[in-house]
Amino acid sequence: MSCRHLISLTAALVLLLPLAAQEQREQNAAPKNPGDRPQAQDQRHMHLDRTAKLLNECMLHCQICAAHCGKLVEEGKKEHFQSMKLCAECAEVCALTGKLAICRSAVLGHQAEACAKICERCAEQCEKSGGDEAMKACAKFCRDCAKACRELSANELKNQAEQERR
C-alpha cells in the first residue's frame, strides 16, 4: 500500500470517527443502570471522544513517520528500520484502540493500557533514532496518546470493577 493510500485512509478515519462517536453517544443516551448519573456518563463520553481524537492523531503521525523512516532506509540509513517498523505497529494499535473506544468495548481498559505501552516505546525509539521534525512530531503525539490511554485504562478498569460489584 502506498503512502498516498495510507494518508487517504487515515483522512477518512479522522473524518468518520467523530461521526461514529456522536452516533454511539446518541444510542447510549439513556442510562443502562438506574444508579448511573447522566452527568457522569457525559463526562465519560467526552473523555472517550478526546482520547479517540488523540488516537487518530497519533495513528496519523505514526504512519507519516513510518513512511519517512522507510525512505531513510531506502537511502541506506538502515538504523531507521526499527523506527519504521515500530511506527507502523503503533499506528495499527492506535487504530484498533480508537475503534474499541468508539464502540465502548468491554476490553477497552486492557487495550488502552497496551496502547499506552507501545506508544511509549515508539516515542522512545523516535527520540533515539533522530532529531528530524517527523520523528519529533511522532514522539510528541505518542507521548500525549500514551498519557491519555493510561487515564482511559484506569477509568475503564475502575468502571468495569464497579459494574462487576453490582
Q: Render pLDDT for 101-115 as a digit per residue (tens, 0 to 9).
A: 988 899 999 999 999
Residue 117 confidence (pLDDT) above 70: yes
pLDDT, residue 30, reads: 47
pLDDT for 33 equals 52
- How many whole angstroms separate alpha carbon 103 and alpha carbon 166? 22
Flag the least confident range among 56-60, 69-73, 101-105, 135-139: 101-105
Q: Which domains does the chain have, with CATH numbers?
A: 48-165 (1.20.1270.360)
Which of 13-17, 67-71, 126-130: highest mean pLDDT? 67-71
Tell me the average pLDDT across 10-28: 50
Residue 12: pLDDT band by 50, 70, 90 thresholds?
Answer: very low
Average pLDDT, the chain: 83
* pLDDT number for residue 41: 67
Name the grid cell of 57: 492523531
pLDDT band of residue 144 (cuts 50, 70, 90) is very high
Residue 80's CB: how many other CB atoms inside 10 A? 25
Residue 20 main-chain phi, psi, to 5 deg: -65, -40
The Cβ of residue 61 has, within 10 Å, a number of other Cβ atoms equal to 27
Whether the Cβ atoms of residue 145 and residue 54 lie closer than 8 Å to each other: yes
Give CA–CA dist 162/156, Å, rounded.
10
Task: Look at residue 70 and tell me whether its pLDDT is greater than 80.
Answer: yes
pTM for the model stands at 0.75
C-alpha–C-alpha distance, residues 145 and 166, integer Å: 31
- 163 pLDDT band, cuts 50/70/90, is confident
| More confident: 103 or 26 | 103
The full 3-state SS of 12-32, as one line of letters, equals HHHHHHHHHHHHHHHHCCCCC
**Cα 43 from Cα 55, distance rounded (Å):** 18
